[in-house]
Amino acid sequence: MYLHRDFFLKNMGNTIAIQGIKGSFHHQVANEYFETYYDLDECLSFPALVESLLTQKSNIGIMAIENSIAGSIIPNHALIDKNNLHIIGEHYLSINQNLMVLPGQKIEDITEVHSHPMALLQCQDFFAKYPHIKLVEDVDTAETARRIHANKLIGIGAIASETAAKLYDLEIIGKHIQTIKNNYTRFVILKTKNEFWPKNQINKASLKFELEHKGGSLATVLNVMNDCNLNLTRIQSMPIINSPWRYSFFADVTFTEYQDYEKGKALLTIMAQDLKILGEYKNTLV
């Protein structure tokens, strides 16, 4: 499904920037996509991840871009666009959230649970049954687990992956507690240059474009995509700063023939304003 890992890392370097620390879902994606042959740059925010790439501290970045429950992570679209990063790959991860604590505690002993806001959102139904527990937003799932282990925090729980529980010697007292069990997050593989996939292996592209504020402009673009055999898998609008009531659009398209995509891209260059290619890569959701 992917390019051979040795080829990928040999040609791109072997330092990967992730949001979070070891045990995070970003770390799990790194393990699954690149196996184990890499160095890790742990970043506690997405802007810090971008900075790692721009300063060449890392060669590759992994960034969550959308979730099947919560939808698009819009600020990350803006980060990729603003910093001229390129999507060179993608990975879909099944997200299983787990409640973990220092060993020997029961859920009745827990007064607070800390985790990333997205993780808390995904587990609301579970915690509705335990009104005595206060939910506290934190920067990262695995970082919370690490802190509980390091500081021996009694009465505090974390929501994180099973990998984090093993790494930080925590006991899982609530397994797979997310409300919707079929819960996936799409991650994109980022680089500062887009120069890897040969055309005969590219069958997905991420685009950004703007349209005139007039009736039918978006419908016309969508018709062009359809006529060129481009399958629109996602579209997300975002307001254009300092231009009230004007929007840019982020879209993902898949295709079978690269020449169909080239034709569509040529037409969109004429019809849309400021067409920007954010990435051309291999579709992994087949």
Better-predicted residue by pLDDT, 104 or 217: 104
6-24: average pLDDT: 76
DSSP labels, 59-118: SEEEEEEEETTTEE-HHHHHHHHHTT-EEEEEEEEE---EEEESTT--GGG--EEEE-HH
> Global pTM?
0.86
Q: State how far the Cα of 21 lies from the Cα of 47, in Å rounded to an integer.
A: 15
Q: What percentage of the chain reaches a pLDDT higher than 90?
A: 75
Cβ atoms of residues 92 and 284 within 8 Å: yes
Q: What percentage of the chain reaches a pLDDT higher than 70?
A: 94
Q: What is the pLDDT of residue 235?
A: 95
Classified by CATH at the fold level, domain 5-95+183-191 comes out as D-Maltodextrin-Binding Protein; domain 2 (3.40.190)
Q: What is the pLDDT of residue 69?
A: 77
Count the Cβ atoms, other than its own, within 10 Å of residue 255. 21
Q: Cα-flanking dihedrals φ and ψ of residue 193, to 5°?
A: -135, 150
Q: Token pair for residue 248? A: 């840019």
Domain regions of the chain by residue span = 5-95+183-191, 98-174, 203-279
Range with lowest mean pLDDT among 153-162, 211-220, 233-242: 211-220
Class of domain 98-174: alpha beta
Indicate if the pLDDT at residue 4 is higher than 50: no
Under the banding of pLDDT at 50, 70 and 90, the label for residue 1 is very low
Model confidence over 21-75: pLDDT tens digits?
A: 999 999 999 989 987 668 999 998 999 999 999 999 999 999 999 988 778 999 9
Q: What is the mean pLDDT of the chain?
A: 91
Q: Could you give the count of Cα atoms lying within 13 Å of 170 in the half-sphere of its Cβ?
A: 37
Classified by CATH at the fold level, domain 203-279 comes out as Alpha-Beta Plaits (3.30.70)
Answer yes or no: same fold for 98-174 and 203-279. Answer: no
Range with lowest mean pLDDT among 111-120, 145-154, 242-251: 242-251
Q: What is the pLDDT of residue 34?
A: 86
